[in-house]
Structure 1
């Protein structure tokens, strides 16, 4: 038996490092760089809070939106932000509860919101900022959010009744494939400013009266009725049968909005989406399709701005008719 082997009296010699292992050992001793600060570690419990505070201090509004499921039609909506919440409360927007973050830095807007909510009997709830993040689906809330019930949509014919009750010539704004609730809110502001009697939206492929729309409308949705139609084309046909004219607004329109001859008549102004304009079926229901004259370097306006320009022209023509 070889010396040093099993059964010999002498201990076996230790094996040295194998050939070529030195580089691997040196690399294993080099480590992975400096230890990152606590807020950069993925397990750091205050990381989300630190990022949120930094965003709100910057005021840039950037926040990763959580994954959304399909919202039930009767689910409540939330308005976030100190100015929007106060404006909604001052405009008597229907509300169920006012949520206020724990240890919030109070200012006049927060104090006034709490005071109005108390006077109106709206529940006041103190919650964590994480809870507010979930309720507002990632929007910047500044520590306050207002819960509003699901919107009670009108029937399209009710908008005509509103005009007749006011002894005025009907002016209704219909939205075709306008999917951004902020555009809906902006259009509601313009519609209120220029004397429209309501908005008409389709049930599908359209923005609804959500928290984002309430926020952009600055409370005007509390006074302007919104109707919803299962079929926008059929609703426009019914309006025509009731004696209203339909004027479409599209970048490829036949005439400038200011030159249209129907603006003083009972009217439905249809606003198309910024990208696609009016759909074919809706265009077929229009008595005239108009455009907004613009500089050649500008391809289009968003739906909110375009609706404001068109409604101003309608109001200008009607005012001139009254003066004469």
Structure 2
């Protein structure tokens, strides 16, 4: 089966690693055609069974259809959301989406410009729900209707340390874009703004990194390791 361009990107995103037995060679990513009787389970995709599965997915999802994987993820998603402001085409959004997929966020919300650089997502946007809000007011109206607590992540004089803050199970972690940080409307509307402890010389950390730290903080408080 010929892969689509996105599937090719996904296979590349799995990161082929060198084969230790052959100097300079790369190990093929994923699995080949199914061997033996085909499973009697409609979650499996006949095309993947027939031709192999080279996607960047965890082993339990090998040979499953895309729809089956998303449905399984939807049944287990966590209670937190992530939002990032995108007024100047922030290049961190792809990283945020990829990390949100890893930590199984409910949704990623993009506030501002709808267009964003998908390369950093490494095709995880195919499995992660993403919602666009053209304005801050539109985003805040959604949060109010959904009943989730809005929490800003940024360095302000009145920010509370993320490390000691009890994160609500149903919340949305909001990040400003690289450089400007959180906009004033988000800051004013947030239930609280949280800061990440830093110990070096720089005044801030990358927005994509900050998002990963904040999501993992929620996971540590609410999700059992597996």
Question: What TM-score, normalized by structure 1, do the two folds share?
Answer: 0.45
State the 1:200 CA deviation. 0.8
Residue 231 of structure 1 is matched in structure 2 by 135
Secondary structure of 1:299's counterpart equals coil
State the 1:89 CA deviation. 5.0
Residue 155 of structure 2 is matched in structure 1 by 251
- How do residues 120-269 of structure 1 correspond to structure 2 at under 5 angstroms? 166=75, 170-177=79-86, 179-180=88-89, 182-204=91-113, 208-210=115-117, 213=118, 215-252=119-156, 254-261=159-166, 263-269=167-173
307 and 85 in structure 1: CA distance in 2 versus 1, 3 angstrom threshold? same
1:255–1:290 CA contact under 8 A, matched in 2: yes
Secondary structure of 2:210's counterpart equals helix
Distance of 1:310 and 1:197 partners within structure 2? 15
2:80–2:170 CA contact under 8 A, matched in 1: yes
181 and 250 in structure 1: CA distance in 2 versus 1, 3 angstrom threshold? closer
Q: What does the per-residue CA deviation read over 1:211-261, in whole Å, with 9 as the maximum and x for residues that have no partner?
A: xx2x21122111012111122233223312431101101121511112222
2:154–2:182 CA contact under 8 A, matched in 1: yes
1:245–1:265 CA contact under 8 A, matched in 2: no
State the 1:272 CA deviation. 0.8
89 and 271 in structure 1: CA distance in 2 versus 1, 3 angstrom threshold? same
Q: Which of 165, 189, 195 is the equivalent residue of 1:291?
A: 195
Secondary structure of 1:195's counterpart equals coil
Distance of 2:120 and 2:76 partners within structure 1? 29
Bigger relative contact order, structure 1 or 2, given CA contacts below 8 A and separation 6+?
2
**Structure having the higher Rg:** 1
What are the ranges of 5 or more consecutive residues in structure 1 without an aligned counterpart? 1-78, 92-106, 113-118, 121-161
2:162–2:194 CA contact under 8 A, matched in 1: yes
Q: What does the per-residue CA deviation read over 1:241-294, in whole Å, with 9 as the maximum and x for residues that have no partner?
A: 431101101121511112222x23211110112311111111111101011110
2:86–2:112 CA contact under 8 A, matched in 1: no
Residue 86 of structure 1 is matched in structure 2 by 8
Secondary structure of 1:182's counterpart equals coil
296 and 108 in structure 1: CA distance in 2 versus 1, 3 angstrom threshold? closer
Question: What TM-score, normalized by structure 2, do the two folds share?
Answer: 0.63
Structure 1 residue runs of 4+, over 3 Å off? 84-87, 165-169, 177-182
RMSD: 3.4
Q: When the two structures are aligned, how many residues end up with a matched partner?
A: 171
Secondary structure of 1:228's counterpart equals strand
Residue 174 of structure 2 is matched in structure 1 by 270
Distance of 1:286 and 1:191 partners within structure 2? 20
